[in-house]
Amino acid sequence: MDPRLELREAVRDVADFPKPGIIFKDITPVLSNGKLLRLAIDEFIADTEGLGATKIAGIDARGFLFGSTVAYKLGLGFIPIRKKGKLPWKTESLAYDLEYGTAEVEVHVDAFDPEDRVILIDDLLATGGTAGAATKLIQRIGATVVQAQFLVELDFLHGRELLTPVPVKSLVIY
């Protein structure tokens, strides 16, 4: 079976979560199954080939699960992109719009060097607000984002448009 089809079949729909009318894409069946988790990590790694990545960045919090494992397997450093107020040292931050308000992400000011080629990893690409802000933050510090990777992409929300011109790779697209 196609590995990405296996992942797609494992993602569970949860109706009316976190509010009525929303169909939530639950990735915990992928995380709780060793074979599927390994499959997802292997697919993320395959998508990084030939990009010359020097660091992996993951978005708080599920991006940490995938990103840190990919970084470990590739022998690269892992950089956490956190919600505001969660990092202990000097940070650079960026606010962005959500459907119902605003949010802010931050990273340590010394997380990247100008020659760094970064792969950004997260679990889900929806409207692109968080990933777009994380990409801009990495670029503001001076590094190059060579690709953004997601386990799941909700294509109908057009989130990848906020990441242009950064290439986007998603393992499962709805």
pLDDT given for residue 123 in this prediction: 98
pLDDT given for residue 101 in this prediction: 79
Q: Where are the domains of the chain?
A: 3-173
What digits encode the pLDDT tens for the residues 106-156? 999 999 999 999 999 999 999 999 999 999 999 999 999 999 999 999 999
Catalytic positions: 62, 99
pLDDT given for residue 97 in this prediction: 87
Q: 152, 88, 148, 153: which is closest to 117 by C-alpha? A: 148
Is domain 3-173 given the CATH code 3.40.50.2020 in the classification?
yes
Which residues in the chain land under pLDDT 50?
none
pLDDT given for residue 81 in this prediction: 98
In angstroms, the CA 64 to CA 59 distance is 6
pLDDT given for residue 98 in this prediction: 80
pLDDT given for residue 47 in this prediction: 97
pLDDT given for residue 1 in this prediction: 83
pLDDT given for residue 143 in this prediction: 98
Pair 4, 43: CB distance under 8 Å: yes
